[in-house]
């Protein structure tokens, strides 16, 4: 599933285009519920425009071309990339929704990341994590290292759904809504600040040139 959630453009300032990435493809995942809560919570904002990218809807193989580009990706892989790569390129910032699996983040998320490179550069990234007592924070810490290698800017604050205190209830909403909503606001505010600053910087001087 991938869809677009649009907010109104703020007066005098274009809304920041934010791709929200659902990082888990596992059966029975809570990622969609977490993503729906997050997008619903921020949908009133007029300064961001959200595009939800679900890794479970992508048909990206683990096998990749060599550094010389050979062999070329199969036609179905090229079609999958044509559906997602332009969306990542158009995004001015990202919010990654990730669980913690075995002390780390899902292979499906790493695969999406590794199929791309310049699309992440000089853009801010925020995190919404969930899973167990740690709330996915170990996955986030590892993702910060990955995105630093890709020249992306991860913001300090994140949203972490910790079980059993602020994890998800049966309705898919955080148990401690006030704390989680406050964390989401802080994270999005930081993504917006960096997104605007880096938008201006990239326009004035393309990154890496």
**pLDDT: which is higher, 32 or 172:** 32
pLDDT averaged over every residue in the chain: 91
- Model confidence at 4, in pLDDT bands (50, 70, 90)? low
**Per-residue pLDDT band at 11 (split at 50, 70, 90):** very low
Residue-wise pLDDT for 84-134, tens only, equals 999 999 999 999 999 999 999 999 999 999 999 999 999 999 999 998 889
What is the per-residue DSSP string for 67-80?
TT--SPPPHHHHHH
Predicted confidence at residue 13, as pLDDT, reads: 81
Return d(Cα 72, Cα 67) in angstroms, integer.
11
Domains of the chain, with CATH numbers?
3-63+74-204 (3.40.50.360)
**DSSP helix/strand/coil, 114:** helix
Contact (Cβ atoms closer than 8 angstroms) between residue 65 and residue 73: yes
- Within 8 A by CB and 6+ apart from 128, the residues are 34, 35, 38, 95, 96, 97, 98, 158, 159, 161, 184, 187
Of 166, 116, 173, nearest to 137 by C-alpha is 166
CA 46 to chain centre: 19
SS3 132: coil
**Sign of the CA dihedral with 132 first, then 136, 139, and 141 last:** negative
Task: Find all residues with CB under 8 Å of 171, minimum gap 6, and list them.
Answer: none
CB proximity list for 176: less than 8 A, separation 6 or greater: 165, 166
Q: Which of 199, 173, 192 is nearest to 39 (CA)?
A: 173
To the question of pTM greater than 0.75 for the whole model, the response is yes
Strand ranges inside 61-123, DSSP E: 93-99
């Amino acid at each position: 599933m991938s869809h677009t959630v649009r907010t109104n453009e703020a007066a005098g300032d274009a809304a920041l285009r934010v791709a929200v990435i659902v990082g888990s493809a596992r059966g029975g995942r809570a990622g969609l519920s977490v993503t729906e809560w997050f997008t619903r919570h921020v949908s009133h904002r007029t300064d961001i425009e959200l595009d939800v990218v679900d890794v479970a809807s992508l048909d990206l193989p683990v096998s990749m071309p060599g550094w010389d580009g050979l062999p070329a990706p199969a036609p179905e892989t090229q079609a999958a990339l044509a559906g997602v790569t332009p969306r990542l390129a158009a995004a001015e910032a990202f919010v990654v929704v990730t669980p913690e699996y075995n002390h780390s983040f899902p292979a499906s998320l790493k695969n999406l990341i590794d199929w791309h490179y310049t699309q992440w550069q000089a853009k801010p990234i925020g995190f919404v994590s969930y899973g167990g007592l740690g709330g996915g924070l170990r996955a986030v810490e590892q993702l910060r290292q990955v995105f630093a290698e890709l020249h992306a800017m991860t913001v300090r604050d994140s949203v972490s759904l910790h079980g059993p205190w602020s994890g998800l209830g049966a309705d898919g909403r955080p148990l401690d809504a006030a704390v989680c909503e406050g964390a989401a606001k802080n994270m999005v505010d930081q993504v917006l600040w960096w997104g605007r600053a880096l938008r201006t910087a990239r326009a004035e001087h393309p990154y890496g040139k």
